[in-house]
Amino acid sequence: MTSAQRAGTLAVAAGPFRALLGATGADDLLAWLALELGHAGAIDEWVDYGKGRTKAFAPETILHVVSGNTPHAALQSIVGGLLLGSRNLVKLPRGGIAEIGDFVTRLPEELRAKVQTAEELPPGWLAEAEAVVVYGSDETVARFRGLASPSQIFIGYGHKASLGVIWDDPHFVSCDGAARDASLFDQQGCLSPQVFYVRDTPSGFAREYAEHLASAMDRFNRTHPRGPLTTEEKAAIANLRAAYRFRAAGDLRVALWEGGANLDWTVVYEEDAWFPASPLNRVIFVKPLPEGLPSSIGPASEYIGAVGLFPCTEELADRFAALRPSRFCAIGRMQDPHWTWHNGGVPRLASLVKWVDFES
């Protein structure tokens, strides 16, 4: 199969997952290849490169270690591997990922044969892989990095957290988008914002924004209810609410909005800039935007995945570039990265291939 044929087939199989994957037409996939490899057919044929020619060689076999809380990341990883023509060994979390099984059954036989899944890592998979891609906690990434050999390509996607910056929104038009960003996937993904920093102009605006965001969270929840919670997750949210309830009783710089007895959503307004501990699952903090955002938010500044902006301008992105996210985007689109997104700051396809040059 050529890259174009694989793109066409993958586009059909990925069609039903558009909500998770975004635009997945054959053209989108080929454009992704062309952008990262310089030519959509760079895997199939020699292409011009400087004074000579070059060809990209995809790994024979890729081991994907994926986490269950972000099925879209797992799907994207497999789609990328298949697009390159590699064989894909997928280590799933315990309990599997329903979307992966569904996607694989939709593949034609030739591509289906290139995907194997397992919930326990079979002996030999790691050694067999030419490239290893790991999504998970820092500990998981470090463990696999330690196990991989120096000759293997290793790409690890560890802990990340995201935030939003509301720079100028006097009419609160970004609130619905912010609620969507903070609610989709129940904040389990690295693109999920945990804090919105709001420019407090005029004074008191950030608190007012929190109140509007709470209404938006409630509206979103009515059409997109939160997923089930474990007892531990319930306890974590309930404990956080109790702690902020206590603080709000005696401190006007703190406020709390609670959605429903089922812990549907929680908005906390707090004046200090520290990026706080969040139990996730639709618990979102709103804080006045401090001077010098990176240095004010604490150790979290080293782990920022995406920054949502309102308005979304390059000028604002430059202003917050010191956060070193791998993505600036519009509030409301934080969960919809382009296929071409440099996740972790690296090109996802280009990082997997090896180039062979031909000089006549």
Partner 1 sequence: MQEEAANPEAQVLSWIRGDRRAEFGDAALQLHACHFRHNTPYRLFCEQQGVGESVKSWRQIPCVPQEAFKHADLRSFPAGQTAKTFRTSGTTGEGFGQHHFRTLEIYETAVREGWRLAGMPRGPFLVIAPHPDEAPHSSLSHMLGVLAPRESFIAPQGVIDLARLSSLGEPVCLLGTALGFLHLFESMDRQKISLRLPSGSCAMETGGYKGSGRTISRADLYALFGNKLGIDPADICNEYGMTELSSQFYARGPRGLHRGPFWARAVIADPVTLEEVGEGETGIVLIYDAANVGSVVGIRTRDLAIKRGDAFELLGRDPAALPRGCSRSADEWFGA
- Parallel, antiparallel or unpaired: strands 87-91 and 354-358: unpaired
Q: How many residues does the chain have?
A: 360
- Three-state DSSP state, 135: strand
The stretch among 55-63, 78-86, 206-214, 227-235 that binds partner 1 (CB under 8 A) is 227-235
Q: Interface with partner 1 includes 53 (CB under 8 A)?
A: no
Any residues with CB less than 8 A from the CB of 350 and at least 6 apart, and which? 36, 37
Tokens 């890259």, residue? 3
Report the residue number, 167 or 269, with the smaller CB distance to partner 1: 269
Among residues 131, 124, 121, which one has the least CA distance to residue 90?
121
Near partner 1 by CB under 8 A: residue from 5, 152, 188, 351 = 188
DSSP states of 223-243: HSPPPP--HHHHHHHHHHHHH
Near partner 1 by CB under 8 A: residue from 124, 170, 250, 292 = 250
Report the residue number, 108 or 260, with the smaller CB distance to partner 1: 260
DSSP assigned state of 58: -
Q: Interface with partner 1 includes 271 (CB under 8 A)?
A: no
Report the residue number, 37 or 163, with the smaller CB distance to partner 1: 163
Q: Interface with partner 1 includes 76 (CB under 8 A)?
A: no
- Whole-number Å distance between alpha carbons of 111 and 121: 21
Near partner 1 by CB under 8 A: residue from 3, 24, 54, 67 = 67
- What the block records as the tokens of 360 is 């006549």
Report the residue number, 202 or 250, with the smaller CB distance to partner 1: 250
Are residues 339 and 349 in contact, defined by beta-carbon separation less than 8 angstroms? no
Helix spans in 224-300 (H)? 231-250, 293-296
Near partner 1 by CB under 8 A: residue from 165, 300, 312, 352 = 300
Residues 102-141, one symbol each (x = binds partner 1 by CB under 8 A, - = not), give ---------------------------------xxxxx--
The stretch among 36-44, 55-63, 69-77, 165-173 that binds partner 1 (CB under 8 A) is 69-77
Any residues with CB less than 8 A from the CB of 272 and at least 6 apart, and which? 253, 287
Residues 314-343, one symbol each (x = binds partner 1 by CB under 8 A, - = not), give ------------------------------
Cα 248 to Cα 38, 254, 269, 337, distances in angstroms: 55, 5, 9, 36
Residue ranges in contact with partner 1 by CB under 8 A: 67-70, 73, 135-139, 157-161, 187-190, 192, 194, 230-239, 242-243, 245-251, 261, 263, 274-280, 298-300, 303, 305
